[in-house]
Structure 1
Amino acid sequence: MHKVYMYALELDPSSRVNGLMGVYHCGYMKFQALSTDLIMNHSKYAKKIVDMMKSEKLYASQGGPIILSQIENEYTLVEPAFHEKGPSYVRWAAKMAVGLQTGVPWIMCKQDDAPDPVYHGGTNFGRTASEYVTTSYYDEAPLDEYGLIRQPKWGHLKELHAAIKLSSKALLSGPQNILSLGRLQQAYVFKKSEECTAFLVNYEKRDVKVHFQNVAYELPRKSISILPDCKVIVFNTAKVSTQYNTRSVISRKKFDSIEKWEEHKEDIPTFLKTSLRAHTFLEQMSTTNDTSDYLWYTFRFVNHDQTAQLLNVHSNGHVLQAFVNGGSAHGSHQNRGSSLESNVTLRIGPNYISLLSAMVGFPDSGAHLERRVLGLRRVRVQGKDFTNHAWGYQALFDKPAGNDPVALNLGSMGKGEAWVNGESIGRYWVSFHTSEGNPSQTRYHVPRSFLKPKDNLLVLLEEENGYPLGISLDTISRTKVCGLVSESHLPPVCGTRHDQSGEICQRNPDRRPNVQLQCPPNSTISKILFASFGKPSGDCESQALGTCHSSNSRAIVEKECLGKSKCSIIVSSHSFGDDQCPGIPKALLVDAQCA
């Protein structure tokens, strides 16, 4: 089939495809435990990636954006399986990583240290995704798969990090002291000399009032409040004043004409056309050596019975296609084996059976990966009848105008792999995981760097019954922004701890909670879709006017925001002038369009 070369940027050599193929082809007896071969190859792998980053000056110590590195990934989940050798491997990996001298800290996920969540989603191009992992990777990150800012996550973490930065001196130098503030409330205090920082935690499912250092504090349900000076709350996880935004999809081209497509049929091989033969089933991963997801198994036998017979095939592969009057059987991530049974009618004399075993990625986790096997395990056959099935399609398209990210909507296809100008954009298949019963992924990212201005070649290898006329080429953007902030929210966290007078910035009485809206680069706020100060009903998904609505809401918001790339509206009755409900806490909800 198609050979794809790949490398992984995550420094997790023991559980990725590279490491797994090393098990089969370098003869490791134990995997993810100490051995001379393992140490040598893991060190070589890690050094190669670090040297690549250093050559591009990407580490913060070189002026680049990488501030933290991770070695290994959740190794603690498999560490007990290796007994005393597990901790030894962890210590070796840590020492090896530090010895690479990146100039930035190293962490280990789910060891004693825990990293921040993933910041940037991505795309598992080509065949880099592990078994049953979609091509889209963590699209819900603060920067999504296409590199677009996803709110409110991005803004929430921006505020959190600003609060942590204000607390850094006490956090890094002061010892931790834990105080009880109630049945399900605690204070985590870090103090050294004049520096003091506190985290007030409310584990209850209701708001509570607590007293800390003789001062009363209101703690929202299930939240953490940060006090950089042990006095003033500057951040609370339940009340973050950050905007929301919505991703928009525009279809730029439809591949709905049969004249736009070329169709290619793949021949089904028979035993006489094979170049590799054996007297037993070959293990699929070691046989294909990471050059293909597919392996044909063919054999021949002589039949003397004209009656319909039963074909029974058991496979440890992910997908099985049998070219006899039957269908295909699929495994799942939980049940890796698949079986196929089919009544078939054979001819008298020689019969040829062709079975296509397909993988949807390599296994990537768990102890003793070297013991995992894929491919056919047992075939019981009494008959044969075969039909051609695997098909390929190709079409040309032009690069969409502009700079918005590009994606192919392959929701009408079955299962296979897609290439654009020879670059694989990954495997595609229809998986159902959403509560609405819709596929978890239908759009597949096509980086603009893969595209030419004209005549880009799209090639699809379709294994099942796809409908290429339903494919479209789309662009992705974020064109709607929204903010919902109440008078009880905190103002945005100050960039510095003290203002010009030397006072704690957050204590300034003029600082008020506010709705902040910001459009993507090269766009401005073109329309206010909804604005209400009072007690609006709904949220950034759907809105309606509620009680205490100020009739000035839309006019004030439009004056502050229209035609601007970003704006800020203070949430207070004084700002809107028309107080319909004096003494009742209110909120401002704004939904806007960017263009």
Structure 2
Amino acid sequence: MGNTNVMVTKYTLDNSSACFISNKFDDKEVNVTLDDGATHVVPAWSVSILPDCKTVAYNSAKIKTQTSVMVKRPGVETVTDGLAWSWMPENLHPFMTDEKGNFRKNELLEQIATSGDQSDYLWYRTSLEHKGESNYKLHVNTTGHELYAFVNGKLVGRHYAPNGGFVFQMETPVKLHSGKNYISLLSATIGLKNYGALFEMMPAGIVGGPVKLVDTVTNTTAYDLSNSSWSYKAGLAGEYRETHLDKAKDRSQWRGGTIPVHRPFTWYKATFEAPTGEEPVVADLLGLGKGVVWVNGNNLGRYWPSYVAADMDGCRRCDYRGTFMADGDGQKCLTGCNEPSQRFYHVPRSFLKAGEPNTMVLFEEAGGDPTRVSFHTVAVGAACAEAAEVGDEVALACSHGRTISSVDVASLGVTRGKCGAYQGGCESKAALAAFTAACVGKESCTVRHTEDFRAGSGCDSGVLTVQATC
């Protein structure tokens, strides 16, 4: 049975039945009476599951699982803010001409198929004879994800696909000299596309082009290089040399002294002691540009903290009720606005060596400041939980031996903010006293939601929200 917004679905097998009740209203709860005469309250925008069509075992609006806010703490004894860095430039010289490639083609090929997924990087290199000196605009049409352009050994331009729009055009001014001129284009992918219709067919790289030199005066094509002889080579010299493994034969090439910052195509290395204890360890890479990070030869992943998410209105409001919208006027429940998609990288303790130096290696592609890198241990800083009905148990817990130091919020009704920064709703002094007595000084605690919490508080709602500090 059902209507547009309220529906009951009943499944029967042999002599047993299970029921699902859904309420699509986003502004009101509903009372639903089943065949046995029992009435069930279903909150707005939620689903109730009754395994026997009598007792509600689960409602999606009444989830009681604890929400934990993790905090990063610098290690006092073993993790220092000032890591000792050395550096090594990536050797780009072999790629600045169109010689010594893997093969040549008179066309612009798709990157992933051409590179065989050996590397994120594929070099497209060509040359042309030119009479005299002239200024042009180098125009490249690419399916992304990122592009660097070199002319006669000099970096002349960089562009990347903003907001997932992988097809883009790069135009950058260049100067050709008399004689032979070399153009080297480095196309980079940010991993492989893994969603959407026919995602395995999505191209990457400068497939088809065009690549051309545009006259700066007439704004017309002076040279179309799309069908020139292109030399192809996948990867970078440091990848072939396995610089990230910090092999003994390569250690003499690392340079100390003043560490260059914001220098693209640079390798950096630092040693550090593993933090004591058992808490998880993270590396804070804020300050870096874009690249890859390894610890003791283990790849932690690509990083790009310099790429910051836009400031969107959806980060300022969140209500689980109603259709989720990631964009447009109805966007809500977004997180991470004005922040990098990721700045903290988990370093599994199995990667670390206790009591001896550990090595971090960075390949900084875009240019960043490695001196801002630091290590932290992670622990629960705030623990939050809800109880939708009287009789529900509320469980709170810290981690790794840490105890609850205070109970900051114990309120009924709608709370503003998010876990770790709740402003509370209708404060219940009885609930606050009960949780403080049961929880402070303990690693975990459980308190049952009672009618006493609402009595004398003047609160209409029975939904209890609790926030504690570890």
Question: What one-letter code is carried by the residue in structure 2 that aligns with 1:468?
Answer: P
Using the TM superposition, name which of 191-200 and 362-371 deviates more.
362-371
Contact 2:415 2:423 (8 Å CA) reproduced: yes
In structure 2, what residue type is equivalent to 1:320?
L
Of the three residues 160, 185, 210, the one matched with 2:32 is 210
Tell me the equivalent position of 2:97.
271
Counterparts of 2:33 and 2:86, CA distance in 1: 71
Structure that is richer in strand per residue:
2
Preserved contact between residue 318 and residue 336 of structure 1 (Cα < 8 Å): yes
Q: Which residue does 2:203 correspond to in 1? A: 372
Among residues 362, 379, 382, which one is paired with 1:460 in the alignment? Answer: 362
Q: Secondary structure of 2:114's match?
A: helix
2:8 to 180, 187, 191: 187
8 Å Cα contact 1:407-1:475 kept in structure 2: yes
What SS class does the counterpart of residue 437 from structure 2 fall into?
Answer: helix
| Structure 1 residue aligned with 2:174 | 344
Tell me, in whole angstroms, the C-alpha distance in 2 between the residues paired with 1:591 and 1:229. 34
* Letter of the structure 2 residue corresponding to residue 319 of structure 1: E
CA contact (8 A) 1:531 1:557 kept: no
Corresponding residue SS for 2:434 = helix
- Report the Cα offset of residue 470 of structure 1: 1.6
- Counterparts of 2:164 and 2:117 in 1: how far apart (Å)? 23
Distance 1:524 1:255, change over 3 A: closer
Task: Say which SS state the counterpart of residue 556 (structure 1) adopts.
Answer: helix
Deviations, residues 514-538 of structure 1 (Å, cap 9, x unaligned): 3222333x42533123253666854
Match among 340, 361, 378 for residue 476 of structure 1: 378
Query: 1:440 aligned to 323, 328, 341, which one?
Result: 341
Please give the alpha-carbon distance, in whole angstroms, between the structure 2 residues aligned to 1:300 and 1:543.
62
1:422 aligns with 2:286: no
Q: In 1, distance between residues paired with 2:168 and 2:416?
A: 47
User: For residue 513 of structure 1, what is the aligned residue in structure 2?
Assistant: 392
**1:154-193 pair list within 5 angstroms:** 179-180=1-2, 184-192=5-13
SS in 2 for 1:481: strand
**CA drift at 1:563:** 3.6
Alpha-carbon distance between aligned partners in 1 of 2:164 and 2:203, rounded to the nearest angstrom: 14
RMSD, matched Cα: 3.1
* TM-aligned CA deviation for residue 541 of structure 1: 4.2
Question: Which residue number in structure 1 is paired with residue 121 of structure 2?
Answer: 294
Moved more, 208-217 or 463-472: 208-217
User: What is the letter of the counterpart of residue 442 of structure 1?
Assistant: R
Distance 1:344 1:301 in 2: 14
Counterparts of 1:361 and 1:582 in 2: how far apart (Å)?
55
| In 1, Cα distance between equivalents of 2:423 and 2:386 | 13
TM-score by length of 1: 0.58
Matched residue pairs, number? Answer: 383
CA contact (8 A) 1:318 1:332 kept: no
- Determine if the alignment matches structure 1 residue 329 to structure 2 residue 329: no
Secondary structure at the aligned position of 1:271 is classed as coil
Contact 2:98 2:182 in 1 (8 A): no
Shift of 1:276: 2.9
1:440 alignment partner AA: S
Write the distance in 1 (CA, Å) between the matches of 2:101 and 2:457: 84
Distance change in 2, residues 1:580/1:358 (3 Å): same
* 8 Å contact kept, 1:254–1:471: no
Amino acid at match of 2:393: N
Distance in 1 (CA, whole Å) between partners of 2:423 and 2:445 is 22
Q: For residue 250 of structure 1, what is the amino acid of its counterpart?
A: R
Question: Which residue does the alignment assign to 2:273?
Answer: 398
Deviation digits for residues 219-242 of structure 1 (CA, Å, limit 9, x no counterpart): 211122222332232332212333
Q: Which has the higher contact order (CA 8 A, sep 6+)?
A: 2
Q: Structure 2-normalised TM-score?
A: 0.72
Match of 2:19 among 184, 192, 198: 198
> 1:113-138 CA deviation, whole Å, 9 max, x = no partner?
xxxxxxxxxxxxxxxxxxxxxxxxxx
Rounded Cα–Cα distance in structure 1 between residues aligned with 2:468 and 2:125: 61
Contact 1:256–1:468 (Cα < 8 Å) also in 2: no
3-state DSSP class of the match of 1:449? helix
* Percent identical: 28
Supply the AA of the counterpart residue of 2:352.
Answer: L
**Alignment partners' CA distance in 2, 1:328 and 1:545:** 48
SS of the residue corresponding to residue 432 of structure 1 reads coil
Q: Pick from 416, 428, 434 the counterpart of residue 556 of structure 1.
A: 434
Q: Deviations over 1:429-477 (max 9, x none)?
A: 2433364321111122222222222322222111212111121222222
Residues 312 and 584 of structure 1: is their aligned pair in 2 closer, same or farther, counting only changes over 3 Å? closer
**Greater mean alpha carbon deviation, residues 366-375 or residues 523-532:** 366-375
Alpha-carbon distance in structure 1 between the residues aligned to 2:165 and 2:303: 20
Q: Report how far residue 331 of structure 1 moved.
A: 2.9
* Structure 1 counterpart of 2:189, from 359, 364, 367: 359
Q: Secondary structure at the match of 2:68?
A: strand
- 2-side partners of 1:272 and 1:232: how far apart? 73
Secondary structure at the aligned position of 1:274 is classed as coil
Alpha carbons of 1:473 and 1:546: their partners in 2 closer, same or farther (altered >3 Å)? closer
Q: Secondary structure at the match of 2:185?
A: strand
Deviation at 1:322, TM superposition (A): 0.8
CA deviations on 1:138-174 (whole Å, 9 max, x unpaired) are xxxxxxxxxxxxxxxxxxxxxxxxxxxxxxxxxxxxx
Which residue matches 1:240?
A: 63
Distance 1:475 1:279 in 2: 51
Q: Which residue of 1 aligns with 2:421?
A: 542
Query: In 2, are the aligned partners of 1:418 and 1:458 still within 8 Å (CA)?
Result: yes
- Looking at structure 2, the residues matched to 319 and 548 of structure 1 have their Cα atoms a distance apart, in angstroms, of 52
Q: Secondary structure at the match of 2:128?
A: strand
Deviations 1:511-565 (A, max 9, x none): x223222333x42533123253666854644345665733x44443233223433
The answer as to 2:351 corresponding to 1:450 is yes
The 8 Å contact of residues 524 and 563 in structure 1, kept in 2 or not, is answered as no
Query: Structure 1: 5+ residue runs without aligned partners?
Result: 1-178, 491-511
Name the SS of the counterpart of 1:525 in structure 2: coil
**Structure 2 SS opposite 1:261:** strand
Local SS of the residue matching 2:210:
strand
Report Cα offsets for 1:188-236 as digits up to 9, x if no partner: 1233454332222222221122322223322211122222332232332
Bigger mean CA offset, 281-290 vs 206-215? 281-290
Q: In 2 relative to 1, CA 286–555 (structure 1 residues): closer, same or farther, beyond 3 Å?
A: closer
CA pair 363-210 structure 1, distance change in 2 beyond 3 A: closer
Structure 2 gap ranges (5+): 214-221, 224-262, 313-336
Aligned to 2:216: none
Name the counterpart of 1:262. Answer: 87
Deviation at 1:315, TM superposition (A): 2.8
Q: Deviations over 1:252-273 (max 9, x none)?
A: 445546x523233423323265
Task: Letter of the 1:318 partner, please give it.
Answer: H
C-alpha distance in 2 between matches for 1:230 and 1:279: 68
Report the 3-state secondary structure (helix = DSSP H, G, I; strand = E; otherwise coil) of the residue aligned with 1:419.
strand
1:473-521 Cα shifts (integer Å, max 9, x gaps): 22222232122324xx26xxxxxxxxxxxxxxxxxxxxx223222333x
Contact in 1 for aligned 2:412/2:426 (Cα 8 Å): yes
For 1:347, the aligned partner's letter is H
Query: 1:197 and 1:317 mapped to 2: Cα distance?
Result: 51
The structure where helix makes up a greater share of residues is: 1
Give SS of 1:375's match. coil
Contact 2:407 2:436 in 1 (8 A): no
